[in-house]
């Protein structure tokens, strides 16, 4: 029987630290439920001491999940640990995750602490966390750049104080796979009590080596991998869950370990994260990218027709990507819609189904076939964004090569209707100028991109924007058969995310 690697997902904590990828409580809850269906063993729901919003989200998730361990991050301070326990104490399987930096550069310049002080802080924090729960994880921030023998000393102290998991982060993505594997082996062989704890790794992707480093660590004896969906996270991101899981699944002849992940939920979960955060999955992204199972070259196509395994090392169905999708249309009923949403992982109430069904019928009058991506866009817009401050009620645009583009917009702002009109260099510029005037925003548009949710000339346009205001950055996403309306929805979604960030200021983000 093969050993199992624990999959620790930090999409809701480290993943949310991707620039602009803020999520509201409803979105975090929806994603947490999906991650439990995916089969992650541990879910890091947030950093409760960072903000009231994070504390609330972690608390709600802790009360919802039954099979997955829920953990809250905390620095090695009693205040942080208290806040983490307040948020997760009612979880079916709670875990406290505490950390402190162990590299000389961090201790000297950031912590201004001596090595002995760091060891004491580690032991004190773990011991205090242990007074609440037996399930305590300790992380040595910037571990890959730490002195090896000091790292062993810190881990020994953490385990002696009661840590059941010790985590070695490559915080700045500095390690090379062979080097990181050797570090794991060294720590495991030079920490006397290491057999009393699970050895974990947490890798960042600054040099594009996060997955390679994680797999090397697993091969060297690590038995927990800290990952995010689509590899999102601080700077260049984290180790990608789908890449690690499918590498272990596909290359079990070399890496003789397994995971408890239900791989058929990988693609739907990837799509959900993209829809919620507004972060587009690059087409050539491993496993879940749009081109991952596309074959353009004639030689490849010929081989595929003769035997798919000539150029495919994984079957698309394994990750939940099936060519045989159920296509819904204007004559599809409520029951068919409800049933199909369940297969996509959406467990909606009768009231929510009624809301989605009304929008579904409206969309079905505009395009012939409704695909999964269309349904996901509807659920995201109509169910997950119900607490938005700004909402689009009406948009009318006049544009052409012989007229000055003008937009007439009606919005709901905190339940109150406002309307206005404005001009611009084009229809989208006119729309944005009008929305900006009605909302009073001073945000700057940093990025604007357009795509399509599905193929076909009647496909819904998908617009993504990046906005910045007073140092805050937020992504906005909108979808509609009309690209100008999609653009308006994206802008409004971005403004709502900015408002959420203003209302839930983060005291200090944590980077492992």
Q: What is the pLDDT of residues 143-172, one digit of tens each?
A: 999 999 999 999 999 999 999 999 999 999
Same domain for 121 and 54, yes or no, is: yes
Mean pLDDT to the nearest integer, 102-107: 98
Q: Specify whether 122 is located in the same domain as 85.
A: yes
Given 237, 258, 277, the domain boundary residue is 277
**Residue 285: its pLDDT value, please?**
96
* Domain shared by 102 and 147, yes or no: yes
Shared-domain flag, residues 394 and 350? no
pLDDT in tens, 226-262: 999 999 999 999 999 999 999 999 999 999 999 999 9
Residue 1 pLDDT:
63
What percent of the chain has a predicted confidence (pLDDT) above 90? 73
Residue 316 scores a pLDDT above 50: yes
Catalogue the E-assigned strands of 134-234.
Answer: 136-141, 165-170, 198-203, 224-227
CB 10 within 8 A of CB 42: no
Q: Do 372 and 499 share a domain, yes or no?
A: no
- Of 2-16, 257-271, 493-507, which range is least confident? 493-507
The CATH number given to whatever domain includes residue 39 is 3.20.20.70
What is the pLDDT averaged over residues 72-98? Answer: 98
Domain hosting 134: range is 3-277
Answer yes or no: is 109 within a domain.
yes
In sequence order, which residues have a C-beta less than 8 Å from that of residue 460 and are 6 or more positions away? Answer: 363, 367, 373, 374, 377, 452, 453, 454, 479, 480, 481, 486
Q: Judge contact between 462 and 451, C-beta under 8 A.
A: yes
Q: Check whether residue 367 and residue 397 sit in a common domain.
A: no
Confidence of residue 386 (pLDDT cuts 50, 70, 90): low
Q: Could you tell me if 446 and 370 lie in one domain?
A: no
User: Comparing 300 with 78, which gets the higher pLDDT?
Assistant: 78
Please state whether beta strands 69-75 and 42-46 pair in parallel, antiparallel, or not at all (unpaired).
parallel
pLDDT band at 418 (very low <50, low <70, confident <90, very high): very high
CATH for 487? 3.30.160.270
| Average pLDDT of the residues of the chain | 92
Asked whether residue 309 is assigned to any structural domain, the reply reads: no
Whole-number pLDDT of residue 48: 97
219 and 361 together in one domain = no
Residues 94 and 220 in one domain: yes
Between 374 and 7, residue with greater pLDDT? 7
- At 168-219, the pLDDT tens digits run 999 999 999 999 999 999 999 999 999 999 999 999 999 999 999 999 999 9
Say yes or no to pLDDT of 84 above 90.
Answer: yes
Can you give the pLDDT at residue 234? 93
Prediction pTM value: 0.89
Pairwise CA distance, residues 209 & 170, whole Å: 10
Same domain, residue pair 46 and 76: yes
Predicted local confidence at residue 326, as pLDDT: 58
Residue 321 lies in a domain: no
Residue 4 has pLDDT above 70, yes or no: yes
Tell whether 341 and 406 lie within a shared domain.
no
pLDDT at residue 301 in the model: 43
pLDDT tops 60 at residue 302:
no
- Give domain status of residue 464, yes or no: yes
Total number of domains constituting the chain: 3
User: What is the pLDDT at residue 309?
Assistant: 64
Q: Among the listed ranges 43-47, 263-267, 380-384, 491-495, which one has the minimum average pLDDT value?
A: 380-384
Residue 324 resides in a domain: no
- Domain boundary (258, 277, 296) is at 277
- Kindly state the average pLDDT of the residues 54-78: 97
Same domain, yes or no: 347 and 244: no
- Report whether pLDDT(274) > 50: yes
Assigned domain for 328 exists: no
Q: Which of 382, 398, 419 is the last residue of a domain?
A: 382
Residue 80 lies in a domain: yes
Residue at 400 is within a domain: yes
Q: What does the alpha-carbon distance between residue 491 and residue 346 come to, in Å, rounded to a whole number?
A: 26
Work out the pLDDT band at 92, boundaries 50, 70, 90.
Answer: very high
The pLDDT of 57-67, averaged and rounded, is: 97
């Amino acid at each position: 029987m093969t050993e199992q690697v624990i999959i620790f997902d930090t999409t809701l904590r480290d993943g949310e630290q991707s620039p602009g990828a803020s999520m509201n409580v409803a979105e975090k809850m929806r994603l947490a439920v999906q991650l439990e269906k995916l089969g992650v063993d541990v879910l890091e729901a947030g950093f409760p001491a960072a903000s009231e919003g994070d504390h609330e989200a972690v608390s709600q998730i802790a009360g919802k999940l039954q099979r997955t361990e829920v953990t809250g991050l905390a620095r090695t301070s009693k205040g942080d640990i208290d806040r983490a326990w307040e948020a997760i104490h009612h979880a079916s399987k709670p875990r406290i995750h505490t950390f402190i930096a162990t590299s000389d550069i961090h201790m000297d310049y950031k912590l201004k602490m001596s090595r002995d002080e760091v060891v004491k802080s580690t032991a004190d924090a773990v011991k205090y966390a242990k007074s609440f729960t037996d399930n305590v994880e300790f992380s040595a921030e910037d571990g890959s750049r730490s002195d090896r023998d000091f790292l062993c000393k810190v881990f020994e102290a953490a385990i002696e104080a009661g840590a059941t998991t010790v985590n070695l982060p490559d915080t700045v993505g500095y390690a090379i796979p062979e080097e990181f594997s050797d570090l794991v082996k060294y720590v495991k062989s030079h920490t006397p009590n290491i057999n009393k704890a699970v050895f974990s790794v947490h890798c960042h992707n600054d040099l594009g080596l996060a997955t390679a480093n994680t797999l090397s660590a697993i091969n060297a004896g690590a038995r927990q991998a800290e990952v995010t969906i689509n590899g999102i996270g601080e700077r260049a991101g984290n180790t990608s869950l789908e890449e690690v899981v499918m590498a272990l699944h596909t290359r079990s002849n070399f890496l003789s370990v397994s995971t408890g992940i239900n791989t058929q939920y990988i693609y739907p979960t990837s799509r959900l994260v993209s829809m919620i955060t507004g972060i587009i999955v690059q087409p050539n992204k491993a496993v879940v990218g749009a081109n991952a199972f596309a074959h353009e070259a004639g030689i490849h196509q010929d081989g595929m027709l003769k035997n798919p395994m000539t150029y495919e090392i994984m079957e698309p169905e394994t990750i939940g990507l099936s060519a045989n999708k159920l296509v819904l249309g204007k004559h599809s009923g409520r029951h068919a819609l409800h049933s199909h949403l369940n297969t996509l992982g959406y467990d909606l109430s009768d009231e929510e189904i009624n809301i989605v069904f009304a929008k579904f019928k409206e969309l079905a009058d505009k395009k012939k076939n409704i695909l999964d991506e269309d349904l996901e866009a509807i659920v995201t817009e109509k169910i997950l964004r119900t607490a938005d401050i700004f909402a689009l009620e009406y948009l009318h645009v006049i544009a052409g090569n012989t007229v000055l583009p003008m937009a007439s917009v009606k919005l709901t702002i905190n339940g109150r209707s406002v309307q206005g009109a404005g001009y611009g260099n084009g229809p989208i510029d006119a729309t944005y100028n009008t929305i900006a005037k009605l909302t009073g925003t001073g945000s700057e548009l940093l990025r604007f991109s357009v795509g399509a949710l599905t193929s076909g000339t009647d496909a819904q346009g998908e617009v993504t924007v990046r906005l910045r205001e007073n140092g805050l950055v937020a992504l906005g996403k909108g979808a509609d058969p009309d690209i100008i309306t999609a653009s308006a929805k994206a802008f409004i979604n971005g403004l709502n995310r900015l408002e959420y960030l203003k209302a839930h200021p983060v005291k200090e983000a944590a980077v492992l």
